[in-house]
Structure 1
Amino acid sequence: MKAEIAVLDIQGIYRIYTELHRAKTPAGTILLINGSLSTLASFAQTVRYLQPHFNIVLFDLPYAGHSRRYNTHHRLLSRDDEADIIIELIEHFKTDCLLSFSWGGIASLKALARHPRHVRKAAINSFSPLINGAMLDYLQRGSQVLGACDRDGIGELVNSTIGTHLPSLYKRYNHRHISSLEIYEYAQMKFHVDTVLHHEGRSCVSHADVIEIPLLFINGEWDEYTTAQDARQFARHARHCEFHSVARAGHFIDIEHRQANLDTRNALLDFLFAPAIPHRQAMAV
Structure 2
Amino acid sequence: MMPKTAIVEICGKYKVHTEHYLNTAANKTIILVNGSLATTASFAQTVRYLQPRFNVVLYDQPYAGQSKQHNLHGEPIRKEDEAAILLELIEHFCAHHVLSFSWGGAATLLALAQQPRRIEKAVIGSFAARVNAPMRDYLERGLNHLQACDRLNVSRLINSTIGKHLPSLFKRFNDRHVSSLAEHEYRQMHFHVNEVLTQNTHCYVACANAIEIPLLFVNGEWDEYTSVEDARIFADHAPQASFYTIRNTGHFLDMEHPAALHDTRQALLGFLDPACRKQGRVASDIQVNYV
The TM-score bracket by the shorter chain reads: over 0.9
Q: Is the 8 A contact 1:79 1:201 kept in 2?
A: no
Tell me the distance in 2 between the aligned counterparts of 1:272 and 1:195.
32
Q: Which residue of 2 aligns with 1:12?
A: 12
State whether structure 2 residue 76 is matched by structure 1 residue 54: no
2: CA distance, partners of 1:74 / 1:155: 24
The within-5 A match list for 1:80-159 is 80-159=80-159
8 Å contact from structure 2 (residues 129, 201) kept in 1: no
Distance 1:210 1:39 in 2: 29
Q: Which amino acid aligns with 1:39?
A: T
Instruction: Output the amino acid matched with 1:203.
Output: C
CA distance in 1, matches of 2:108, 2:22: 22
3-state SS of 1:203 partner: helix
Please report how far the alpha carbon of residue 274 of structure 1 lies from its aligned counterpart in structure 2 after TM superposition. Answer: 3.0
Q: CA RMSD in A?
A: 1.4
What secondary structure is seen at the aligned counterpart in 1 of 2:210? coil
**Which letter does structure 2 place at the counterpart of 1:192?**
H
Segments of 5+ residues of structure 2 without an aligned counterpart are 276-287
Q: What is the deviation of 1:3?
A: 0.6
Partner of 1:258: 258
**Residue identity in the other structure for 1:181:** L
2:127 alignment partner, SS class: coil
Runs of 4 or more, structure 1, over 4 Å off, are 282-285
User: How far apart are 1:203 and its partner, in Å?
Assistant: 2.5
For the residues of structure 2 that align with 1:200 and 1:77, how far apart are their CA atoms? 18
1:12–1:42 CA distance, 2 compared to 1 (3 A): same
The answer to whether structure 1 residue 218 and structure 2 residue 218 are counterparts is yes
State the TM-score, normalizing by the size of structure 2.
0.93
CA distance in 2, matches of 1:35, 1:273: 24
2:36 corresponds to: 36
Q: Distance in 1 between matches of 2:131 and 2:2?
A: 40
| Distance (whole Å) between structure 1 residues aligned to residue 192 and residue 289 of structure 2 | 31
**Most deviating of 23-32 and 94-103:** 23-32
Which blocks of at least 5 consecutive residues in structure 1 are unaligned? 276-281
1:76-112: CA deviation from partner (whole Å, max 9, x where unpaired): 1000000010000000001000000000000000000
- Given that 1:106 and 1:201 are in contact with CA atoms closer than 8 Å, whether structure 2 keeps it comes out as no
| Percent identity of paired positions between Structure 1 and Structure 2 | 53
How far apart in 2 are the matches of 1:111 and 1:23?
Answer: 26
TM-score (ref. length: structure 1): 0.95
